[in-house]
Structure 1
Amino acid sequence: MTVLVFGGSSQIGHFLLPRLLASGEPVLALSRQSQPAQAGVNWLWGALPADVPTLPPLSAIISFGPLLELAEWLAQTRLIDAPRVIAVSSMSAETKRDSSVPAEREISRQLHQGEAALAAACARHGCAWTVLRPTLVYGAGLDKSLTPIVRRALRLRLFPLPAGRGLRQPVHADDIAQTVLAALDCPAASGRILPIGGGERLPAGEMFARVRRSLPQATVPLPLPAWLLRLGQRTLPPLRGPLSRLDSDLIADNGELQRLLGIHPRPFRPEASMWMSPL
């Protein structure tokens, strides 16, 4: 049987593919861009929902892409068997639900809609499914949250340190990859939406300070006091949402993750290599 991975070139896919290959199952990986040859991985070019070629019998479908597109593809695809489906959503489904920014509330709505559509599509095929909701993901230099801050800081030699009392729980992409594999072999995880955060909760200000300390080059710290952040919320609309959440806890309860899958994500100990893209 074969495992099909959507988003194999993503930060989680970067860690998952070698682990899948080590398990001995053939791997098909779909990417929107051409990828370098990788022993044991059959790369397909295309995008959901329309560009997926005819597939062999599958033992599992794993997706790190948009849930609605995955659900649409499943709804119109004939599957020979009923493969296990593991998909990654986001804790933004909850943390942005009541955001003051309409665009962020829409992100939350789409995530919830995608999760429901995926469950319905899997039910039509008789596929067992599990959805993972990670917090802030890091680890491969491909994220769109911490890595852009790092690269800008290295370019300007200046690292902004916003004041923030809200708790953060960054989760390493490899811990999510390990969770995917554990969920594949755990029938009790079927039909569940599982939050997954890192193994440590720390204030937002401390998170940024640790990132700065991990950099390969020295940068000048630039403290951003609370009054300046409030001004930014009023004058910089694109940053209104992120700035407004600096004093809010953005965390996940890992209790069910640990009970069902035995996964204990690592604490937040960033290193310089974690900000360097493998591509």
Structure 2
Amino acid sequence: MDRRTILVTGASGFVGSALCRQLNASGAFSVRAPSRRDGELGAATDWAPMLAGADAVIHAAARVHVMQENANDSQAEHRRVNTEGTLNLARQAAAAGVRRFIFISSIKVNGELSQPGQPLRADDPPAPQDAYGVSKHEAEQGLLQLAAATGMEVVVVRPVLVYGPGVKANFLSMLRWVQRGVPLPLGALRNRRSLVFVENLVDLVMTCLDHPQAANQVFLASDGQDVTLSELLRALGQALGRPARLLPVPPVLLYTAARVLGRGDLAQRLLGSLQVDIAKNRQLLGWAPPYTLQQGLNVTARAFLDAQPR
């Protein structure tokens, strides 16, 4: 059986590397994974050599959300890479005869928060709040216009917070806090968050490679299980074999302290809800996450522990 050629951008990243591993393991695909030396993602990048004969593109490369950066440069830089760079790649892909273009976008296109009992949905009106979210939204709009003009099928996938082996940033900090037994004043939080295990995200993307109902659609990616931060920390403790030490400090005190310290952004992430509804995935694709939240946390915790110095 002939293997189909898939171009994966961002292949060295957290999500891109997991995609490449699974695509290669399937035996059905020949994966092209350009390195950064092959050209920066921008409006002038020549993708022709990498696109020749490709059946599909999975575009995971991006300029990621950066906290506390210079706001004057932020929008222009995000737009240059995430919008102009994406559309340059997509136009060349369409010209090369690529059948399907999968764009790994972000839940930030929907917005930063959800209201209690009202999870965000894929077809809700977009409401991006920062430069990163705006640049991703603009790329999505351009891709869907390109699909209508050229016939190349586009699929947009917006993940929530992605975790898994090798995860960095705030999720890695939580793993370290729980492992060290650090007392955390988060036991009284009741806001709920959606997360997505990286292997669940990969499974959804691979489903979107071929499913006829995925063409020119937007999907949200999550584990389908929403948790409070205190529930998440307890589940991490279970995965690590260490009980999470949570203190029931009232949320209003946490919010006040964060504002006094000039960390309103941190207060939003800690105290706000961000839930998503993946019913569209089930209805159109027949897709459900193959791993539960606890299974994903167990795999993540095991990799974290294995990486510790002996």
TM-score by length of 2: 0.72
Query: Which structure is higher in helix share?
Result: 2
1:214 to partner: Cα distance: 2.5
Query: Which structure is higher in strand share?
Result: 1
Secondary structure at the aligned position of 1:158 is classed as coil
In structure 1, what is the equivalent of residue 232 of structure 2? 207
In structure 2, what is the equivalent of residue 61 of structure 1? 57
2: CA distance between counterparts of 1:275 and 1:264? 26
2: CA distance between counterparts of 1:164 and 1:76? 48
Structure 1, residues 205-258: CA drift from partner, whole Å, max 9, x if none?
Answer: 211222233236677545554243112331233x42342254443111111101
2:196, 2:222 within 8 Å by CA — same for their partners in 1?
yes
Q: How does 1:155-234 map to 2 (within 5 A)?
A: 157-158=181-182, 160-162=184-186, 163-215=188-240, 220-221=245-246, 224-234=249-259
2: CA distance between counterparts of 1:190 and 1:276? 40
Structure 1, residues 151-195: CA drift from partner, whole Å, max 9, x if none?
Answer: 4655x6525352421112211111111111111111211111111
Secondary structure at the aligned position of 1:250 is classed as coil
In structure 1, what is the equivalent of residue 18 of structure 2? 15
In structure 2, what is the equivalent of residue 257 of structure 1? 281
Given candidates 157, 172, 192, the residue that maps to 1:132 is: 157
1:5, 1:30 within 8 Å by CA — same for their partners in 2?
yes
1:111 to partner: Cα distance: 2.5
Given candidates 263, 268, 271, the residue that maps to 1:244 is: 268
1:232, 1:240 within 8 Å by CA — same for their partners in 2?
no
2: CA distance between counterparts of 1:7 and 1:181? 16
In the alignment, is residue 82 of structure 1 matched against residue 107 of structure 2?
no
**1:87–1:189 CA distance, 2 compared to 1 (3 A):** same
In structure 1, what is the equivalent of residue 86 of structure 2? 70
Secondary structure at the aligned position of 1:120 is classed as helix
TM-score by length of 1: 0.80
Q: Percent identity?
A: 25
**1:119–1:232 CA distance, 2 compared to 1 (3 A):** farther
Q: Structure 2 counterpart of 1:59, which letter?
A: D
**1:161–1:15 CA distance, 2 compared to 1 (3 A):** farther
In structure 2, the gaps of 5 or more residues are 63-81, 115-127
2: CA distance between counterparts of 1:277 and 1:111? 35
1:204 to partner: Cα distance: 2.5
2:18, 2:202 within 8 Å by CA — same for their partners in 1?
yes
After superposing the two structures, state which structure 1 stretch, 199-208 or 115-124, moved more: 115-124
After superposing the two structures, state which structure 1 stretch, 191-200 or 61-70, moved more: 61-70
Structure 1, residues 88-137: CA drift from partner, whole Å, max 9, x if none?
Answer: 11112223289xxxx95333322221211222344454310111111221
In structure 1, what is the equivalent of residue 173 of structure 2? 148
Secondary structure at the aligned position of 1:132 is classed as strand
Given candidates 22, 25, 29, the residue that maps to 1:25 is: 29
Q: How does 1:112-127 map to 2 (within 5 A)?
A: 112-127=137-152
1:62 to partner: Cα distance: 0.1
After superposing the two structures, state which structure 1 stretch, 46-55 or 19-28, moved more: 46-55
**1:219–1:203 CA distance, 2 compared to 1 (3 A):** closer
Given candidates 92, 96, 100, the residue that maps to 2:108 is: 92
Q: Structure 1 counterpart of 2:49, which letter?
A: T
Q: Structure 1 counterpart of 2:31, which letter?
A: V
1:6 to partner: Cα distance: 0.7
**1:221–1:249 CA distance, 2 compared to 1 (3 A):** closer
